[in-house]
Chains A and B, each alone.
Chain A
């Protein structure tokens, strides 16, 4: 599953700056999922996107966080005006069709540190 690419792998931001995390799904996959892992916790679902559509953003914080998956290019998770509590590992996963019982393939994650 090395096909799911995330960059950067590590990102350091100061409070108030913006963080942009990128995810390129595996070739042929049109469904993308973002998860966040806070220290000492399991991964938590944030958002599910298809090309140009947000399907489920029930796990996204109401403010400062947004996600997109444009027709061309990677999926972007954007965090505006970062705070220390945003420090976490952010994982992206992809699947081919988003159908029942489909396996999600994960990327290596982006470790965000907010100073």
Chain B
């Protein structure tokens, strides 16, 4: 079974700072990769996803993530955060062979101070 680990439980930043959230997964086969975000009081929303092709993926709201296959990583980045980026961020993975079964990391809470 695959597992997903997110390196930081809680990150606190000031506005305009750069953000990088780590995500590593363990699975021997081919995977699809996702980052979801949950703003306070709202649904989980898809930020971006990687299925194949260019390993640098652009998502909504200025976020991007890079898939590094050799490191089993899919880190999320944003060059300059805003107060509205305060949210919980989840990395998720599913295997291509059984790809409805998402496995999530424990989440990283990001707090952006104005």
Name A's B-contacting residues (CB within 8 A). Answer: 1-2, 4, 31, 33, 35, 37, 40-45, 48, 55-56, 58-59, 91, 93, 95, 98, 100-109
- Contact between B49 and A42, CB atoms less than 8 A apart: no
Contact flag A107-B100 (CB < 8 Å), given A42-B105, A101-B32? no
Sorted nearest first, the 7 A-B pairs with minimum C-beta distance are A42-B104, A106-B44, A43-B104, A42-B106, A45-B101, A42-B105, A108-B43
Q: Is B49 a contact of A98 with CB atoms below 8 Å?
A: no
Q: Is the CB of B101 within 8 A of A48?
A: yes
Point out the residues of chain B lying under 8 angstroms from A33, CB to CB.
100, 102
Question: Chain A residues with Cβ under 8 A from B70's Cβ?
Answer: none
Tell whether, in the assembled complex, residue B90 and residue A103 are in contact, meaning their CB atoms are under 8 Å apart: no
Chain B residues whose CB sits within 8 angstroms of the CB of A91 once the complex forms? 44
User: 1/0 contact trace for B4-43 toward A, CB 8 Å?
Assistant: 1010000000000000000000000000100010000011
* B106 touching A45, Cβ below 8 Å: no
Can you name the residue of chain A whose Cβ is closest to the Cβ of B107?
A42
Report whether B102 and A43 are in contact in the complex, using a CB–CB cutoff of 8 Å.
Answer: yes
> In the complex, what residues of A have CB within 8 A of residue B92's CB?
42-43
- Chain B contacts of A105 at CB under 8 A? 46
B44→A45 contact, CB < 8 A: no
Contacts of A95 in B (CB 8 A): 100
B50 CB to nearest chain A CB (Å): 10
- Interface centre among B6, B44, B46, B107, by most chain A C-beta atoms within 10 angstroms, is B44
Q: Given contacts A1-B43, A91-B44, is CB(A98)–CB(B100) below 8 Å? A: yes
Supposing A1-B45, A91-B44, A108-B42 touch, asked if A56 and B51 sit within 8 A by C-beta, the answer is no
Tell me the smallest distance from the CB of B76 to a CB of chain A, in Å. Answer: 15
Q: Are A103 and B106 in contact (CB under 8 A)?
A: no
The closest CB in chain B to the CB of A59 belongs to B101
